[in-house]
Amino acid sequence: MRVKDSIILYFSVWALISALFAPSIDLFFTLLLIGFLIFIEIGDFFIDNNSKEVLKSFKYVLIAIFVFIVVDKIRTILVK
């Protein structure tokens, strides 16, 4: 099995475990972002440049979702 395939498999298992045990969608996306950033850092040397570009776009989408979650949490704190 190639290292790239291993990283995808481990990230998929991480996403599945996060989906099963996260009590809210906010926590799920936060755990997904954390796991994604860890797996990208570990496998950075083993992934080719074309795949890195696709993973960067996925990373930006997850960061944007995380920013919306943080802004929503701040808004709920300030409204109360």
The predicted-structure confidence for 25-43, as pLDDT tens digits, reads as follows 999 999 999 999 998 888 8
Mean pLDDT value across the chain: 89
Asked whether the beta carbons of 7 and 48 are under 8 A apart, the reply is: no
pTM of the model: 0.83
Amino acid 45: pLDDT: 83
How far is it, in rounded angstroms, from Cα 37 to Cα 40? 5
Question: In which band, very low, low, confident or very high, does the pLDDT at 79 lie, cut at 50, 70 and 90?
Answer: very high
pLDDT per residue as tens digits for the range 43-63: 888 888 888 888 889 899 999
Buried (b) or exposed (e) across 26-46, using 16+ Cβ within 10 A? bebbbbbbebbeebbeebeee
